[in-house]
Structure formats: structure tokens, C-alpha cells
Amino acid sequence: MIRPFCNDDMDAVIRLWLEASVQAHFFIAPEYWEAEAADMRELYLPVSDEIVVHADDATGEVDAFFAFVDTFLAALFVAPGAQGMGLGSRLFRIARRMHPDLSLCVYRENERAVAFYRKQGLSVLERRVERKTGHEELIMGFAQGPAGEETPARTVD
């Protein structure tokens, strides 16, 4: 079942986000993500539009979610135990229908996510170093140069 986020989902979404973040971002200490959980709860989720997925309606567990801030896809996470079932692709298709001009940011070292977004048709538009972690982020979107070629990336601080 796919449905809008409600306040009762908050704890489940935070747990999913934390577990998936630690797994996907092995290059950043887990303590960083644990420290960010309060900001997710108090700052980021309250200002975004979220959609959640229950792969098995019987359990009621949140298996995946995405969150938008305007047309920026601020989060798309699938619980590690629910990965490989097509939930990420399904959520991305919904996100694209909601905001055809979406863009997002992903750590360059998160190769699995970068490959997933490339498979969805996104290109690297820009590169930057995220101040809190010191790791390079890729800004990805659908903007393309002439003849459908990827727009050259530029590095910004």
C-alpha cells in the first residue's frame, strides 16, 4: 500500500531512515547518522511532503518512503530487508509523476544509489562537497545538454 505520511509514521520512518542510511553510507560513521535523527524528526520531515509504502499490509511496517521539499527529492529510502523488491523503482516513478522536473542529491561514494538514479534517467548536474561530512555529493536531475548528452558537472563549495 502506498499512502501519504501521517504523524503516526514518524518513529517507523526515522528507524527506516537510520538503518538504511548507516547501511548505504558505510563511508560515514554511524554516529553521524544517529546524531542527525533528531534533525530528521524536528526539522526535515515536518517541512517536506512524504509518501510511505507498506509492502505487506498485514504487518503495517513502513518498508520505504520518499520526501520532497518543493521539487527536490530530499529522501528516497527502502528498508534494507525490503530492498530488491522493486519498491525503490516504484516510488521513483510516483515521485517523477508528482514532480517531472525533480532533482536530488546523493553521495558520490553511494555507488548503488548513483547507479539506481542513472538507471532512472538522471544525470549529474553539479558536484559539491557537503560541509558536515566532507564527502562529495552529486546533484542529479533530468536536465540534459544537446543531443541528450549529460551536462558537464561543475564543482562548487
User: pLDDT tens-digit profile of 70-98?
Assistant: 999 999 999 999 999 899 999 999 999 99
pLDDT of residue 2: 86
User: What residues have CB less than 8 Å from 32, skipping those under 6 apart?
Assistant: 132, 133
Domain chopping of the chain, boundaries: 1-99, 101-157
The rounded distance, in Å, linking the Cα atoms of 28 and 15 is 17
**What does pTM read for this prediction?**
0.85
- 24-38 pLDDT per residue, tens: 999 999 999 999 999
CB-CB contact of 106 with 140 (8 Å): yes
Class of domain 1-99: alpha beta
Coil, helix or strand at residue 132: coil
DSSP secondary structure string for all residues of 57-126: TTT----EEEEEETTEEEEEEE-GGGTTSSHHHHHHHHHHHH-TT-EEEEETT-HHHHHHHHHTT-EEEE
pLDDT of residue 55: 67
